[in-house]
Amino acid sequence: MGVMRIGHVSLKVMDMEAAVRHYEQVLGMKTTMVDKAGNVYLKCWDEWDRYSLVLTPSDSAGMNHVAFKVRDDSDLEMLQQRLEKHGISTALLPEGTLPSTGRMLQFQLPSGHDVRLYAMKEYVGTDVGITNPDPWPDDIRGAGAHWLDHALLMCELNPADGINTVEENTRVFTECLGFFVTEQICVGPGGEVRAACWLSVSNTPHDIAFVGGPKSGLHHLAFFLDSWHDVLKAADVMAKKQVKIDVAPTRHGITRGETIYFFDPSGNRNETFAGLGYLAQPDRPVTTWTEDKLWNGIFYHTGEAVPSFTDVYT
């Protein structure tokens, strides 16, 4: 009952041919369909639903919406009631609004991000099947990402003016959607301002994260890899394909994840993320990072600021 996991991200791209080539050859995704409007739908080899990424033609980069899959179609009405009671306006979109997808509950976060919930998406199966499966497919390409893992959204934060959409978004996800906080960054006198928050609804360190900034946007969408070795291989693939790397392979203190950050041809930031880090459970104590150790939390090895990481997003 309720939200199970992240389902897909709809992304704006300025050069569709270059974007498809990037997500197929660098991440290792496969195109599963193209609609009449020219939108391209892709999935990773270890995903069983029709798609986890939608690329839409645009004159700018950024995110259209992020979607989460719920267990039952009837959950949509229950979650709609919770959201409306919280003061969030919603709309039920009919089946087929997105191809191969059932009806969706659409709403806007206090930060302005568009979120959708759905229960049904066409099942197509993983590339290795479910009967006596091999550990990986023979035709794996690029980094060979297993699945879309999470998204991190930048949210307007201006404590001097009383604006903290990180906090407001967090309340929506915890009070209405059943997520729980795993980690947070607290800043200001006495650490009274929650400037960033990582939330889970499964057993991974985060399914969604909110980080404060001067304006709202998409910081990155992340794809799961098995191990540190796979992160290094992904960096090799990026070098061969001349992909712009933002942060070379390293480890996060927050979530303990092994990571590399890079950009698609439109400037949307991607991440390849490896390692479970820890088993997230609703009763797990929340990990807090203080302002003086903020960069250790972000980049554990160096603890040093990387300006592009906080200043550049779509």
Catalytic residue numbers? Answer: 150, 206, 220, 252, 261, 271
Cα(247)–Cα(265) distance, rounded to whole angstroms?
A: 16
The amino acid occupying position 97 is: T
Smallest CA-to-CA distance from 9 within 256, 243, 254, 207 is with 207
Residue 147's CB: how many other CB atoms inside 10 A?
A: 19
